[in-house]
Amino acid sequence: MVGSYDIEVRQRRLVYKLSIKRNITIILGHSASGKTKLIELIRSYNLLGNESGVTINCDRPCIVLAGKIADISAAVHGNAGSIFFMDEDYTRIMKTSEFAAIVKNADGYFVLVTRDKLSSLPYSANAIMHLRKESRYNEYKPKITINILTPRYDNIPLNDPFRPDTLLVEDSKSGYQFFQKLVEKKDCTCLSAGGRDNIPKFIEQYDDKEGVLLVIVDGAAFGTELQGTIKAMKHKTRLEIYLYMPESFECLLLRSGIVKCENPDILEHTEVYADSAEYFSWERYFTWYVKEMCNIVGKVYHKSKISQWCITDINMRKMRKALPPGMLLDE
């Protein structure tokens, strides 16, 4: 499934407004913020339609998943093109590899209510949401509460200038090798965390000395580690830390023009192109796209090892231009 979908779920006293554009969206937040009620309203509508007193406005069917893993699998496969919702009572199932396999191949989007880290699922840092409440009063009618799905963590703009003396990259493959080359002539050390799971612990154990640390991660699949990373960053009182979360390294290759992007719209409206049935995350979509673009011009892109054509001086300049304006990685 591709696309962005606005969902409005309404009953007499409650309105929910959601906008979903990725295959996995996580809803967390305070208790009593209305998460379970949202699921209940959709379930009522699933069972009774308009007779439930609930109305749902959405271009796709909204379906609540429940039961055992086989029931969930059958419901997902039998309702291609739907938006599937699961409440936190099913967290045990959400954490299984079987559930991850269902999501991976699904022609549909998943909205999961849970505060637990779902390590088997590659969800985006931007797909972690909570419900923000607004109330409307009317003298003659009951108060209406409007719950709007809102990002839980604000993206920190990296516009104010800073000059990192250490660069931490989540993987040890092409992205790390590229950034190592990018800063090799500067007074900046490039380190690999050896996997995104290690980022929070790496920062936590990092010496809290005066300095500037820039952490670059693939935002498209960093949702699992975001809470731990933000907490670890707050623990460092002397070290200045910046977190940069492009969708992926391959997305940066396209954005910078190092790899020519035939359709720049894929960078602005990825949801229109990255089919959930084919790509577990946008990171995988961008990897596929970079390989395709390279094939056209007779180049080869390896995720495991950066190619020499990629790390020329011209390409280093292109990347510096594409990075946020505050990030001073001058030649």
Residue 30: count other Cβ atoms within 10 Å of its Cβ.
Answer: 10
Q: Does 228 bind another protein (CB under 8 A)?
A: yes
DSSP label at residue 154: P
Binding mask 110-149 for another protein (x = CB under 8 A): ----xxxx------------------------xx-x----
- Quote the CA–CA distance of 211 and 234 in Å, as a whole number: 15
Select 88 or 107, whichever has its Cβ closest to another protein.
Answer: 88
**What size, in residues, is the chain?**
331
Under the binding rule (CB under 8 A), the answer on residue 34 touching another protein is yes
> Within 13 Å of residue 72, how many CA atoms lie on the same side as its CB?
23
Residue 68 in the binding site for another protein (CB under 8 A):
no
Residue 52 near another protein by CB under 8 A: no
Residue 231 touches another protein, criterion: CB under 8 A: yes
The whole-angstrom separation of Cα 212 and Cα 243 is: 11
Comparing CB distances to another protein, the nearer of 125 and 252 is 125
Specify the residue, 61 or 228, whose C-beta has the smaller distance to another protein: 228
Could you tell me which stretch among 26-34, 151-159, 211-219, 298-306 binds another protein (CB under 8 A)?
26-34
CB of 166 to another protein, least distance (A): 19
Q: Please give the C-alpha separations between residue 171 and each of 119, 182, 258, in angstroms, as whole numbers.
A: 16, 15, 20
Q: Is 46 in the site for another protein (CB under 8 A)?
A: no
Interface region with another protein, contact rule CB under 8 A, candidates 154-162, 200-208, 250-258, 268-276:
200-208
Q: Which residues contact 153 (CB under 8 A, 6 or more apart)?
A: 125, 128, 226, 230
Do residues 209 and 166 lie in contact, with contact meaning Cβ atoms separated by under 8 Å? no
Q: Which of 141, 185, 234, 321 binds another protein (CB under 8 A)?
A: 234
**Looking at this protein, which amino acid is placed at residue 151?**
P
- Angle (CA) 155-128-206 rounded to 5° is 60
At 110, give phi and psi (nearest 5°).
-120, 130
Residue 172 interacts with another protein (CB under 8 A): yes or no? no
Question: Which contacts (CB < 8 Å, 24+ apart) does range 294-300 have?
Answer: 294/259, 296/262, 297/260
Question: Is residue 29 a contact point for another protein (CB under 8 A)?
Answer: yes
**Listed ranges 152-160, 193-201, 211-219, 244-252: which one lies at the site for another protein (CB under 8 A):** 193-201
**Bridging pattern class, strands 5-10 and 14-20:** antiparallel
Q: Which of 60, 132, 186, 201 binds another protein (CB under 8 A)?
A: 201
Q: Footprint of another protein on this chain (CB under 8 A)?
A: 13-14, 28-37, 87-92, 95, 114-117, 142-143, 145, 197, 200-201, 204, 227-228, 231-232, 234-235, 237
